[in-house]
Amino acid sequence: MIAAAAALTAGVLLLPRVLPDAASGVGGLLETFLPWSWLVIVVLAALALLRRSAVALGAVVLPVAAWAVLFGGLLLPVTGSTAHGLVVVNHNVSDENPDPAGTARAVAGAGADLVALQELVPSAREVYARVLADRYPHHTVHGTVGLWSRYPLRGADTVAVKPAGIPEPWSRGLRAVARTPHGDVAVYVAHLPSVRLGAGGLAAKWRDESARMLGDAIAAEEVARVVLLGDLNGTAGDRGLRPLTSRLEVAERGFAFSFPAGFPVVRIDQVMARAAAVAEIRALPATGSDHRPVLGRVRWDGDRE
């Protein structure tokens, strides 16, 4: 029984897409929590030891190897230089944040080149703009998402990521070109619809539709270097984000669990890039939001030494 469970765990790790998604969203939910499968592996190993079963213990090696292949690299130290790339911070600041000024000071203190914020409610926008102004003289806000930059921005505009089924006014995407010392970078900031878990399963239809719209916009982007910052309401392994992860690089190092802030178990706040590598991503200390900020180090292709 233990050996069979170990083989099944290894199979799910290596081939999660064999599980149907359908309307229930079970496949995407499983992919979201795959990093935590090490807990199952530890239990299986403990049971194998208690039973003193060499066969069962040998079988546990299978999911251990599978987990190492999928996630072991995230635990390794960062290699290479990011001197010619960008340091970026992404943060869903929460529309119920009781301390926007403190949150703004916290993200500014990270020393990033770019700061992307989501859930910018009208009552707090001026607070963020005022606190971030000294370090970030260039910024743009569209709807509830904003971008602050050390470098000049041009061509700032709204990106349509609103699913057809949402009737109310809704603007959660923007695109601007940052004129960095190392060349132009098209920066996208997005907040995709929430995924809700209910009696009928995982409701991800709107999130998936929004991801497809954003993916199409990035596919049509003419600037070679692209950075995407946002609360995507999905992990990098979630099949619903394939329109993005199939076109963009995700983090090479770091788990950076960002949600919920009090005891983060998933990273739904993302840094992705095109024509570049996300060399590292890590979560920053909690602010007044229900998300933690994440910091990413982006390294341009060719800057490997």
CATH number at residue 161: 3.60.10.10
- Whole-number pLDDT of residue 79: 64
Contacts of 74 (CB under 8 A, 6+ apart): 251, 252, 253, 254, 255
Tell me whether residue 91 is in a domain.
yes
- Whole-number pLDDT of residue 18: 53
177 and 240 co-located in one domain: yes
50 and 109 co-located in one domain: no
101 and 65 co-located in one domain: no
Q: Which of 34, 53, 75 is the last residue of a domain?
A: 75
- Whole-number pLDDT of residue 82: 57
51 and 105 co-located in one domain: no
Tell me whether residue 81 is in a domain.
no
d(CA 98, CA 167): 29
Q: Which of 44, 75, 106 is the last residue of a domain?
A: 75
Q: Which of 41, 75, 109 is the last residue of a domain?
A: 75
50 and 133 co-located in one domain: no
61 and 199 co-located in one domain: no
Tell me whether residue 80 is in a domain.
no
176 and 94 co-located in one domain: yes
For the whole model, what pTM was predicted? 0.88
Tell me whether residue 93 is in a domain.
yes
Strands 173-180 and 138-142: unpaired
Tell me whether residue 153 is in a domain.
yes
98 and 207 co-located in one domain: yes
203 and 282 co-located in one domain: yes
Q: Please name every residue paired with 273 in a beta bridge, in sequence order, or none if there are none.
A: 227, 249
- Whole-number pLDDT of residue 81: 56
Q: Crossing angle for the helix pair 2-14 and 54-71, nearest 10 degrees?
A: 10
Q: Are 73 and 253 in contact (CB under 8 A)?
A: yes
125 and 212 co-located in one domain: yes
What string of DSSP letters covers 199-249?
A: TTEEE-HHHHHHHHHHHHHHHT--SS-EEEEEE-SS-TT-GGGHHHHTTSB
Range of the domain at 291: 86-300
Tell me whether residue 195 is in a domain.
yes
- Whole-number pLDDT of residue 216: 98
Tell me whether residue 305 is in a domain.
no
pLDDT tens by residue, the chain, 305 residues: 888 888 888 887 777 655 555 444 555 667 777 788 878 888 888 888 888 888 888 888 888 888 888 788 888 776 665 566 899 999 999 999 999 999 999 999 999 999 999 999 999 999 999 999 999 999 999 999 999 999 999 999 999 999 998 988 899 999 999 999 989 999 999 999 998 765 555 678 999 999 999 999 999 999 999 999 999 999 998 889 999 999 999 998 899 999 999 999 999 999 999 999 999 999 999 999 999 999 999 998 655 43
51 and 175 co-located in one domain: no
62 and 123 co-located in one domain: no
- Whole-number pLDDT of residue 304: 42
- Whole-number pLDDT of residue 198: 58
Number of domains into which the chain is organized: 2
